[in-house]
Every structure is written in structure tokens, then in C-alpha cells.
Amino acid sequence: SKEPEVTRWFYLPSWKRADLPIVLEAKEVEADRASVPGACWLIFEDGEGLGPQITRRLRELAKDAIPVIPGTRFARLDGGAYALDPGRREDYLALIQDLRAQGRTPTVILHLWNVTSDGRVPLTAVAVDAAQERGFYSLLFLVQALGKAAVTTPLQIGVVATHMLEVTGEETLHPGKATALGLCRVIPQEYPHITCRAVDVPTPAPWAAWSKGLVDRLITEFVLKPPEVTVAYRGRHRWVQRFEPLPEDHLPTGPVRLRKRGVYLITGGLGRIGLVLAEHLARTVQARLILVGRSGLPERAAWEAWLATHDEEDRTSHRIRQVQALEALGAEVMVAGADVADEAQMRAVIAQARERFGTLHGVIHAAGIVGEASIRAIQETDPADCEQQFRAKVYGSLMLEQALDGAHLDFCLLQSSLASILGGLGFAAYAAANSFLDALAHRRRADGLPWTSVDWDGWRFGEEHRAAMGRVAADLTLTPEEGVRAFDHLLALGDLPQVVVSTGDLQARIARWVRREPPAEAGPSRDGDSAKAQHPRPELGTAYVPPRTDLEQTIAEMWQKVLGIERVGVYDNFFELGGHSLLATQLISQLRDTFHVELPLRDLFENPTVAGLAESIETVRWAAQGMQAAPGAADEREEGEL
């Protein structure tokens, strides 16, 4: 539930020491082989020697360890290894199919392609792209291949990398590697049989070898399966990431760091959050504002004519009125049409702003792609979808610094999202882009720049928006007024690289959605499901229609359990009943287990009713029967949507 006191919404990332005993005795190591016939470990080996050492050690322990190295095309190599082209999606499927043909099933995949020793990488798009191909896209393609090959045995994925997480403050982060963190959050939510753990390791000094201790610890991490999902090894110790409520002594004491008639640049400034913050700056300090978005506005001289010839609903008219309202509050506003990822355009905007206002005091980077355009199931995510997300948040934030050209700012606030910590169905690329922002802010702080990444909870703009969000999701959102109070509080907090704004208990949300623990208030019931209190069916626009078939009855009972609602009609909308994307993960896994079908996630988003799901399940079953009867059916099935 939502915490009423805004000052309690702030959390900081921190690390706790949590060493594990090294357990490499035959009993533990053998456990998965006993339960999964043909169990094997896939090791995506790095070029620094850690992966090969892990493979050797696993083989000493009599494990079936299969190395996979980057190459120019898919190939079986001597010594039981594979090569594949990291950028070719088909190669990952070829790998999984080849393993299956041999009766081998990966139970652990260690992905080490982002273990590199290139310490202080310059923050350029080229360096980021290289890390993305090795770390983000290869992980995405790998999981898509597992999905396409319908591998549903329990699987642990370990994303092991260097320079991905900051623990001691002495590391130099490579934010391009951090996008894998966002993906790690979402994979287990969309594929409930997969767990994903991100493990950051330090590079040894050039003359030193990887220690045997680290190799054994890393193997132990996946033998013991501890619940932590973000882990770092430093020296002899293991650290786990936590998010702690902002300590009392960190509460703001000084005034908000806004200057009277200060000059503030807001990327995405004509978007929803951008305009809320612009209005706040106009109202409180009569700021001089530069609002940047790709679409911009017509020339000022044409505004009156535009307003006269377009209706109230017109997007541009709405934005013109908003800018006029800012000016009525005492602000001076410069609207600039520019793509934040285009260095030349951003340099031109900043030069123009300096010419007009003489200086620049702060930046709010709120450009981003949100809403439906940002939701895509992993199985259906193309590089183009990711690049759309990365444009403003990855390349845009890189360009911003170059275009700012060493400007001395009071602050640069990056509008990141709680999705980088909690994930969310359909948010693979979005969470990845926001993880990049978080890591970039850490790196900039280390370089002495006043950048802060703010992982915002969801905002709600008006009652219509609330109705569209579903009850539970809407209950936790923050209103624009609350957002403004949180913003003031954030500015007064001082020099922090990353602050999380969560209106509900963040630890509980992480436990539930990331570690996938049952909710605290509900003990596990006999069948392992969470036994929720049953609430009456709320008032809906749809009349109650009871289930008409056994299939609908079973699905409706699942919804009742997941949503904690007494009775669910076959045309009731999952999201209107309080469902949200994270609760939908439970449904998907239950549907898979009960009906042995793989439904595309899109089905639940597009047709969120019991009747709609029953129809989808019938269709999938019917198609599967047809395929069993036809020769070559298995191959065709992998090409379909099942």
C-alpha cells in the first residue's frame, strides 16, 4: 500500500556483506543431474580467462560443462565447445537445438562475455554498442532462443561481468554493461522457470591470474542458489545489493537548490513529467526554461493562428497553451525541436540557450519513450524496439554531456524508472535503458559531475489515466503534486548518484517481484499458491457472466486466487480487477503448468478476459494437435508463436 508521507519514499542502493560457504562437494553439485536428465552448464566464456577456468573446474567436478565463445558463425568446435556470432539471433537457436538433439539440457548458463579488463572505457556510443552486443543483445537472443525452442526446465542464468556495479566507489563503471541488469529483472518475470542473477567481479591486476577462490565461489553461487539476484565479489568477500530507506540523518536540511530566474534545460520538456516540473520551476522561481522535444512547436508568430484553426484536443494546441501558461507564471520559455541523441542538434540548442540566457544552471533529462510503445514481450522484442528505447536514454544521455561541454551545473537529474529495479512484464528494453541511466549517473559522479539518476515510481495524470491503469497499479502511483514535492526533496538531498522513489515499501516489492517470494501477509496454501483474502467483485462496466465451460471455470478460479477476488466473470477485464503486469506473471506460469501451453504475453495484454484466454488456449491446443499429426511438426512449431 502507498506510504502517505512523501519523505518516506526515498531509498538508496547499498551493499551488505553476505559470504557463502564454498560448497563443491559431490552431493550438492550432483543435485541437478539427478533431477534433470542430461543436465549441463553452458559457459559463455570471456576472453580474459575466467570462463575457461570455470569450465575446467566444473569438469574436474565431473560436470558436463560446455564452453561457448564468440565467433563469426555457429560451429561445433573441438573439445565439445561451440562458437557463435554474437549478433546473429539464429546462432543461439542453433546452439540450443543442437544441445537438445544430443539430449542435453542446460540447467545453468553462465554468461561472461562482458568480463573484460578494459578499465576506464571512454563513454562513447561505439564503446557502449560493443558492450551491448556482447552483454545485452546476446542475453536477449539467448533467452529468445530458449523460448522459441520451448525449453521449460528450471534454469539459472548468471550474468557475470566487470565494471557493471559500483560497490566500493573505487570502480570505474562501464554503463553499457549495465543494460543487462534491467534485462535480468524482466527475464524471470516473463519466463517463470528461469532465475537470473547478476554477478559483478573485479578484474585482477594484469599480472595476476583469476584466483581459484573466485572460481569456486562463482560455481557455489549457482550450486547453492541463494535468493539474492544482484551480487558482487570484492577481495575475499561476497556483497549483495540492497535498497535501504534514506537514513534519517540524510533528510534535507538546506534550502532547495533552485535559483531565482535560474536557467533550466528540460529534455522531453513538452512531455507530461517535463511540463509538471516546468510549471513548478515557473511558479516557484520564475525560471528561464529550455524545453526540448523532437516535435517542438510551430514558430511563435504562428501560435494564434494555430490555436484558432485547431480544436481543444489537438496535441500541439495543448502544448502551446501550456507554454503560454508557464509564461503567465513569470517564466521565460524557449522551445526547441531537437533529438537529444543528435549531438549537432543538441549543441545548437545549448548554444542558442546560452546566447539567449547567458548561462545554464541545471538539466532535467526527461526524454524517453513510455506507455504502450515501451511494452514488448522479450520473445517479441527486436533490436529496433530496444534501439527506440536506447535513443533518448542511452545515446541521448551520452550526447547530453558532450553537448554540455563541461558546463558547471547545480544538478543534472536523469529521469529513470523503478523498472530498472522491479522490472515488469514487457519492460525488457525499458528497464535496460533505465539501468543504463543509473550506472551513468554513478560514473558521472565518480568524474565529479553533479548527476543523479532518479528511479521514479509510476506517475498518474488525471482520473482517466487512473482508470486505465487498473486498481492496484494506480493505488501506488504518485500525482503531479506529489511528484513536485518529491522533486524538491530530491534536490535538497545533496550529492547522490542514484535515488529510488517508491511510494510503497520497496523491500517488500523487491521480495515479491524480483525474488518472487510469497507475499508476507499470505502463508503458502496447500498447493503452494498465495492464499489471499477474498474481496467482493468490484463495480465494473461489464455485467457478471459466469464461466460456461470447464476451461473457463479453471481460468476464472486462477484469477480469483491471484487477484484475491471472490468471483470473476468471463468478460471482466484483468486490469480493471486490479491486475497489473507483475501479477500477470503468476497467471502465465500457472497457465503454462496447468494447460501445458506457451501463450504469448501479448494475448493477456490484448485480450485480458477469461473468455479471451480460454479461446487462446483452445487455439494453441488445436494448433499443437494439428502439428503432432503432421510430419516435421516440431520444427514448424518453433517458427510459430507458441
- Coil/strand/helix, residue 368: coil
By the rule CB under 6 A, 343 interacts with ligand NAP: no
Site for ligand NAP, residues 459 to 478, rule: CB under 6 A: 459
Residue number with the smallest Cβ distance to ligand NAP: 271
By the rule CB under 6 A, 498 interacts with ligand NAP: no
In whole angstroms, give the CA distance from residue 190 to residue 591. Answer: 13
Give the residue, chosen from 142, 196, 258, 273, that forms a contact with ligand NAP under the rule CB under 6 A: 273
Residue 273 C-beta: closest distance to ligand NAP, Å: 3
Between 240 and 392, CB nearer to ligand NAP: 392
Calculate the dihedral angle through the C-alpha atoms of 146, 149, 153, 157, rounding to the nearest 10 degrees. Answer: -10
In whole angstroms, give the CA distance from residue 416 to residue 436. Answer: 9
Residue 341 C-beta: closest distance to ligand NAP, Å: 5
In whole angstroms, give the CA distance from residue 516 to residue 530. Answer: 11
Between 89 and 465, CB nearer to ligand NAP: 465
DSSP assignment letter at 398: H
Give the residue, chosen from 110, 145, 270, 375, that forms a contact with ligand NAP under the rule CB under 6 A: 270
By the rule CB under 6 A, 362 interacts with ligand NAP: no
**Do 195 and 157 touch, CB atoms closer than 8 A?**
yes
Residue 581 C-beta: closest distance to ligand NAP, Å: 13
By the rule CB under 6 A, 370 interacts with ligand NAP: yes
If one counts every other C-beta atom within 10 angstroms of the C-beta of residue 100, the result is 16
Q: Which of 470, 387, 400 is nearest to 441 (CA)?
A: 400
Residue 459 C-beta: closest distance to ligand NAP, Å: 4
Kindly tell me the sign of the dihedral angle through the C-alpha atoms of 163, 168, 171, 175. Answer: positive
Between 51 and 293, CB nearer to ligand NAP: 293
Residue 468 C-beta: closest distance to ligand NAP, Å: 12
In whole angstroms, give the CA distance from residue 6 to residue 636. Answer: 54
The residue count for binding ligand NAP (CB under 6 A) is: 27
Binding mask 285-324 for ligand NAP (x = CB under 6 A): -------xxxx-----------------------------
Residue 128 C-beta: closest distance to ligand NAP, Å: 16
Q: How many Cα atoms occupy the beta-carbon half-sphere of 49 within 13 Å?
A: 11
In whole angstroms, give the CA distance from residue 426 to residue 385. Answer: 11
By the rule CB under 6 A, 366 interacts with ligand NAP: yes
By the rule CB under 6 A, 346 interacts with ligand NAP: no
Residue 338 C-beta: closest distance to ligand NAP, Å: 6
Give the interface segment with ligand NAP, choosing from 151-159, 389-397, 398-406, 558-566 (CB under 6 A): 389-397
Give the residue, chosen from 340, 565, 588, 614, that forms a contact with ligand NAP under the rule CB under 6 A: 340
Strand ranges inside 395-484, DSSP E? 411-417, 451-456
In whole angstroms, give the CA distance from residue 199 to residue 241. Answer: 10
Residue 125 C-beta: closest distance to ligand NAP, Å: 14
By the rule CB under 6 A, 259 interacts with ligand NAP: no
The runs of H, that is alpha helices, within 136-271 are: 138-148, 175-190, 212-224
Residue 372 C-beta: closest distance to ligand NAP, Å: 11
By the rule CB under 6 A, 339 interacts with ligand NAP: yes
In whole angstroms, give the CA distance from residue 526 to residue 545. Answer: 29
> Phi then psi for 295, rounded to 5 degrees?
-80, -25
**Do 111 and 105 touch, CB atoms closer than 8 A?**
no
Give the residue, chosen from 10, 74, 357, 456, that forms a contact with ligand NAP under the rule CB under 6 A: 456
Go through the chain and tell me how many residues it has. Answer: 642
By the rule CB under 6 A, 458 interacts with ligand NAP: yes
Give the interface segment with ligand NAP, choosing from 57-65, 299-307, 366-374, 518-526 (CB under 6 A): 366-374
The shares of helix, strand and coil residues in the chain, as percent rounded to the nearest 5, are 45, 15, 35
Q: How many Cα atoms occupy the beta-carbon half-sphere of 208 within 13 Å?
A: 9
The residues that touch ligand NAP, with contacts defined as CB under 6 A, are 267-268, 270-274, 292-295, 339-341, 366-370, 391-392, 396, 415, 417, 456, 458-459
